[in-house]
């Protein structure tokens, strides 16, 4: 195990922020720590990265106990925090050489490593510009590059793509994948099920300081019920009848919302379910105004695991699905 945590507890004042978190990450794999705002993701990362001590439990990272041998842990890890930690008044190249010098790579060594990382993270064209002119995606890439300066074997990424557009997120995902292919163990936190699904070998779902589910992305999605078919009905259509018509394609309990005008049914993925559903509705002449497949959102995960919707304020665009 590259990361192993057992019963980690942390309290801030009266608030118990972590209530006994267990995590284990085999070397060379990716664990996605998925949870809404305030779940305890950053606190977990900070404890594993030796930045704050736990109040209870124990953890080893890269084979060393975080409480007993923090220096040995630090030498083997990289961390890209939730907010990109780049110095805005320095250029990209200066940011990286500065960190290289702090790692004692020497002037030439730091310059060489900086140039290499700038190239790998597609920042060479902007290397000599102040980073305050960088886009969000560029900052994140530079931050990721900085976390890799000392060639860590274990990498912590705290919400590496929150706030980025889809193209920048996908670029970052590719870059993280490259690290994993090179043998680095990654623990990444995210509020996006899609991101964990894309990158992680295993996902641990954290809510209110506790891991409430863990498994492979497929296991988790099976629990949550795969894709959903969402049908908006024209005025006058009978939702109960539609639900009945769709019994053959649904793989879980249907939900009716939006004043009885929206029917959502979990279906098996693939085009078969869509075709069958469309045919069933057409045969009966049911009028629909919208007909869409949608992957389970973060809200669906939390709804099925906990019976409540996660507190994530940044899951914009997914709020309307709870009806």
Ligand X SMILES: Nc1ncnc2c1ncn2[C@@H]1O[C@H](COP(=O)(O)OP(=O)(O)O)[C@@H](O)[C@H]1O
The residue ranges that bind ligand X (CB under 6 A) are: 12, 17, 35, 37-43
Return the number of the residue (41 or 74) whose C-beta is nearest Mg ion: 41
Return the number of the residue (39 or 96) whose C-beta is nearest ligand X: 39
C-beta nearest to Mg ion: residue: 42
Q: Which of 229, 236, 230 is nearest to 287 (CA)?
A: 236
Shortest Å, Cβ 52 to ligand X:
8
Binding site partner of 17, from Mg ion, ligand X, none, Cβ cut-off 5-8 A by kind: ligand X
Return the number of the residue (107 or 308) whose C-beta is nearest ligand X: 308
Report the C-alpha gap between 236 and 257 in whole angstroms: 15
| 43 forms part of the interface with Mg ion (CB under 5 A) | no
Binding site partner of 39, from ligand X, Mg ion, none, Cβ cut-off 5-8 A by kind: ligand X
Query: Are residues 73 and 29 in contact, defined by beta-carbon separation less than 8 angstroms?
Result: no
Binding site partner of 262, from Mg ion, ligand X, none, Cβ cut-off 5-8 A by kind: none
Return the number of the residue (42 or 97) whose C-beta is nearest ligand X: 42
Report the C-alpha gap between 232 and 239 in whole angstroms: 9
Return the number of the residue (2 or 17) whose C-beta is nearest ligand X: 17
Residue from 18, 36, 39, 42 in contact with Mg ion (CB under 5 A)? 42
Shortest Å, Cβ 42 to Mg ion:
3
Count Cβ atoms within 10 A of the Cβ of residue 71 and give its class: 0-12 exposed, 13-18 middle, 19 or more buried: exposed
Residue identified by tokens 């009978």 is 238
Binding site partner of 35, from Mg ion, ligand X, none, Cβ cut-off 5-8 A by kind: ligand X
Residue identified by tokens 């972590």 is 18
| 44 forms part of the interface with Mg ion (CB under 5 A) | no
Report the C-alpha gap between 323 and 313 in whole angstroms: 17
DSSP 130-195: BGGGS-HHHHHHHHHHHHTTT--SEEEEESTTTT--HHHHHHHHHHHHHHHHTT-EEEEEES-HHH
CA end-to-end distance (rounded Å), the chain: 42
Shortest Å, Cβ 261 to ligand X:
35
Q: What is the CA radius of gyration of the chain?
A: 23
| 131 forms part of the interface with Mg ion (CB under 5 A) | no
Shortest Å, Cβ 42 to ligand X:
3
Shortest Å, Cβ 51 to Mg ion:
13
Return the number of the residue (44 or 185) whose C-beta is nearest Mg ion: 44
Q: What residues numbered 58-87 form the site for Mg ion, per CB under 5 A?
A: 82
Return the number of the residue (161 or 250) whose C-beta is nearest ligand X: 161
- Classified as helix, coil or strand, 307 is coil
Shortest Å, Cβ 35 to ligand X:
5
Query: Are residues 286 and 259 in contact, defined by beta-carbon separation less than 8 angstroms?
Result: no
Residues that bind Mg ion (CB under 5 A): 41-42, 82
């Amino acid at each position: 195990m590259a990361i192993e945590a057992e019963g980690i507890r942390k309290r801030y004042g009266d608030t118990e922020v972590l209530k006994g978190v267990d995590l284990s990450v085999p070397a060379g794999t990716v664990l996605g720590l998925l949870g809404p705002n305030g779940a305890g993701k950053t606190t977990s990362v900070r404890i594993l990265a030796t930045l704050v001590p736990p109040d209870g439990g124990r953890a080893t990272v890269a084979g060393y106990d975080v409480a007993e041998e923090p220096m040995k842990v630090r030498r083997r890890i990289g961390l890209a925090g939730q907010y990109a930690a780049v110095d805005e008044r320095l250029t990209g190249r200066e940011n990286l050489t500065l960190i290289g010098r702090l790692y004692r790579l020497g002037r030439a060594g730091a310059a060489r490593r900086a140039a290499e990382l700038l190239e790998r993270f597609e920042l060479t064209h902007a290397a000599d510009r102040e980073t305050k002119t960088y886009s969000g995606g560029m900052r994140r890439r530079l931050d990721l590059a900085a976390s890799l300066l000392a060639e860590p074997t274990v990498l912590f990424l705290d919400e590496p793509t929150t706030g980025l557009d889809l193209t920048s997120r996908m670029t970052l995902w590719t870059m993280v994948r490259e690290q994993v292919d090179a043998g680095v163990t990654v623990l990444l936190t995210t509020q996006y099920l899609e991101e964990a699904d894309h990158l992680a070998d295993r996902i641990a779902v954290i809510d209110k300081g506790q891991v409430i589910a863990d498994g492979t992305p497929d296991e988790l999605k099976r629990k949550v019920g795969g894709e959903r078919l969402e049908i908006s009905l024209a005025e006058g259509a009978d939702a109960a009848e539609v639900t009945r018509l769709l019994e053959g394609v649904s793989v879980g309990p249907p939900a009716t919302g939006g004043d009885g005008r929206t029917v959502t049914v979990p279906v098996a993925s693939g085009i078969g379910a869509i075709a069958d559903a469309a045919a069933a509705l057409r045969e009966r002449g049911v009028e629909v105004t919208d007909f869409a497949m949608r992957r389970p959102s973060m809200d669906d995960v939390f709804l099925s695991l906990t019976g409540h919707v996660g507190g994530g304020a940044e899951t914009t665009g997914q709020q309307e699905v709870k009806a």
